[in-house]
Amino acid sequence: MKTRKNVGLKKYICILLLAVMALVCLSGCSSTKLSEDFDEGKVKEAAQKAVDCLIAGQYEDCVAMMGQEMQAALTAEALGENVESVKEKTGEFREYKSTAVIGQKDSEGADCAVAVVVAAFEKGNLTYNISFNTEMEIIGLWMK
């Protein structure tokens, strides 16, 4: 039987893990210019697809879009628990407000793209930061 304390701790650990992975991916950033290795339209499309999966509760599909390190660190169940707790606070999805893409370098100096997607919900906006490697795999995911 899951206790409320264990569930809360599990959610906290998952949120912390996502934040740390996003920070690792973006540490050492020096430029916001998108690398020529990325197509801005494809990055926006992939980011919106990932957010669509999160909104629709298709957590396994979202995890399938992630790189191996993220898949090893984050299960569809853990992702779902975190997203569902956020959904309780935001309510139903209304529309996408904006999507922007910037370029970054990860901690090893490799180019990555970061999509910032702002979505409107009935109780307010939610911002998704989704980082991609050059293979268009998600290497960072953060919701605020």
Query: What is the pLDDT at residue 107?
Result: 82
Q: How many Å apart are CA 12 and CA 99, to the nearest integer? A: 27
Query: What is the pLDDT at residue 15?
Result: 53
Is residue 102 predicted with pLDDT exceeding 80? yes
Per the confidence metrics, is the pTM higher than 0.85?
A: no
At 134 the three-state DSSP class reads coil
Confidence of residue 29 (pLDDT cuts 50, 70, 90): very low
In angstroms, the first-to-last Cα distance of the chain is 30
Q: Looking at this protein, which amino acid is placed at residue 114?
A: V
Query: What is the pLDDT at residue 7?
Result: 55
Half-sphere exposure of residue 57: CA atoms within 13 angstroms, side-chain side = 5
Is residue 136 predicted with pLDDT exceeding 80? yes
More confident site: 132 or 19: 132
